[in-house]
Structure 1
Amino acid sequence: MNKSEIEEISDNIKKAQPKLGFSIGQISKNIDQAFSQLTVTANQLSRNIQAALDRSKSNKDG
């Protein structure tokens, strides 16, 4: 490789870096959103299970 080819590759890498940074940032946001939704779903599931257990217990007690 000659110097101009190396410089061209270097320029292309520099141009790509902001796009890559944006993509990584977007992926990170998507992961955060997915974990938040998963937490909400898990909490809801936990409440549903607890409510079902409470109903089951009250049916046995009644």
Structure 2
Amino acid sequence: MRITVNSDNCVGSGQCALALPELFDQDDVNGKVVLLDDQPSAEWHDAVHEAASRCPVQAITAR
């Protein structure tokens, strides 16, 4: 799996970081998503899809 984030679309809602703080954080200045690992192990795949689905602007893609 490869995760990509579109920082330009991110509105800083923080839903991804709340759902999966092991892989997502927020920038201290603007609140936008910070990706901590763009290729997580298989054990995280379901959780990544759940976190991505919580993004109100679909700024996270996981394939």
What TM-score do the two structures reach when normalised by structure 1?
0.25
Larger relative CO (CA 8 A, sep 6+): 1 or 2?
2
Structure ranking higher in strand proportion: 2
- Bigger radius of gyration among the two: 1
What TM-score do the two structures reach when normalised by structure 2?
0.25
Structure ranking higher in helix proportion: 1
